[in-house]
Structure 1
């Protein structure tokens, strides 16, 4: 379970970095598993056109949805009480439900950035309990394109996004370079409210940046629109679904 200081920081700022949630050796093993999964899949680059314009040169991104269906290792991690305990405390519910999972790998020297956005724009919910956990499986300093956040931006509620080669906030009003970089080490997990404005820079280092995203919610928080389905959506990670009935 998260201590009260983590919860207070999350509720005030809309994010919190939990240091060393998993060990360095565990992170290294999950990193290898991420790259093994991607090596078995047909290459696909989901980089937004707006992200390439932001970078100013050709960048690349590797990813995989629904990773627990590709490797049992990630199924175990999703149920790890070290993770689910923090998630429960941050959303204020003993019940934690899965929304979706993704692997993101930013290749060395040309890993794609993400323009500033709220996850809420992609899958809005009625009570706004949805959160993200970004597991870092290798170090993520600023030069590797770490996540950047606007502290306190979750208090603005859902913001209007634009569709300009992606679905993000207007870059002239929300410049990436003015957001706060959240540098992390292997084993750290960044928790974000889905209302927190965030993005990430280009990986200009000589090593790939490897992360796993687990998006979660209180099961009593229902989707506001019929969008963004995943194969594992609705799986209980902790507790039970109070809305399940005859």
Structure 2
């Protein structure tokens, strides 16, 4: 459960890193599950066009949406109280609803970066309670292209994004290297508000970087536009949907 100091830090900075939410053994098992799932799929490349410009060379990013429909292991993780209790505390609601899930794997030595952006540009909501939990299934030092954030950037509200190349902020105004790297270990979970400006660098290490993204919200926070749907959207992860 998130304590009051973590909640205050999240409110002030727009992110919070929870150390050791999963054990090392659990993280290793989920890592194996991720790579096995991607091995069963034929189309997994998801590099943004703007990411290629940012990297200045050919890079790769493997991903999969709606992972709980592919493996029951991820279904169990979605409702794990260690995760949902923190999500509830950070959103300020007893009720936590799923928006979507994704696996992201940055291959060794050539894993694609993400330019700086806000997730709100992809799926705006009316009350801005949407958050992301990034589960790290292996270590993510800066060399592996860890997430980088601009603390406090959520307080400026939604920013205008460039649509071409993947809905990102202007590269010259929001350089990746100016953001703070959030290095993590296997089992750590990074919580981010969807207004927090963030990105990530190229994986230059000899090992892949493996993460799971769970995007969640207060069920009373409705989409501002019908622009993003997923098969699992609306599933209750904690509590109830007061509107139903």
Normalising by structure 2, what TM-score? Answer: 0.99
Q: Which residue of 2 aligns with 1:89?
A: 89
- The alpha-carbon deviation at position 165 of structure 1 amounts to 1.6
Deviation per CA, 1:110-166, whole angstroms, max 9, x where unpaired?
000000000000000000000000000000000000000000000000000012322
Q: Which residue of 2 aligns with 1:187?
A: 187
Counterpart of 1:19? 19
* CA distance, structure 2, for counterparts of residue 106 and residue 10 of structure 1: 26
Specify every segment of 5 or more residues in structure 1 that has no aligned partner in the other structure, as ranges.
none
Using the alignment, how far apart are the partners of 2:239 and 2:165 within structure 1?
Answer: 39
**Structure 2: distance between partners of 1:239 and 1:165:** 38
Q: State whether residues 38 and 44 of structure 2, in contact with CA within 8 Å, keep that contact through their aligned partners in structure 1.
A: no
Q: What is the match of residue 134 of structure 1?
A: 134
Secondary structure of the 1:191 match is: strand
For 1:208-223, what aligned pairs fall within 5 Å after superposition? 208-223=208-223
Q: Distance in 2 between matches of 1:203 and 1:194?
A: 23
Q: CA deviation at 1:49?
A: 1.1
State the alpha-carbon separation in 1 of the partners of residues 75 and 30 from structure 2.
12
What SS is found at the alignment partner of 1:103?
strand
Query: What is the distance in 2 between the residues matched to 1:6 and 1:19?
Result: 12
SS at structure 2 position matched to 1:75: helix
Alignment of 1:25-174 (within 5 A): 25-174=25-174
| CA shift for structure 1 position 27 | 0.1
RMSD (CA atoms) = 0.5
Distance 2:163 2:143 in 1: 27
- Give the TM-score normalised by the residue count of structure 1: 0.98
Contiguous gaps of at least 5 residues in structure 2 = none
Deviation at 1:43, TM superposition (A): 3.1
Post-superposition offset of 1:193: 0.1
After the TM superposition, list the runs of 4 or more consecutive aligned residues in structure 1 that deviate by more than 3 angstroms: none
Distance in 1 separating the partners of 2:21 and 2:241: 26
Tell me the alpha carbon deviations over residues 38-97 of structure 1, each in whole angstroms, 9 at most, x when there is no partner.
000113311011101100100000000000000000000000000000000000000000
Please report how far the alpha carbon of residue 182 of structure 1 lies from its aligned counterpart in structure 2 after TM superposition: 0.1
Aligned 8 A contact 2:91 2:217 in 1: yes
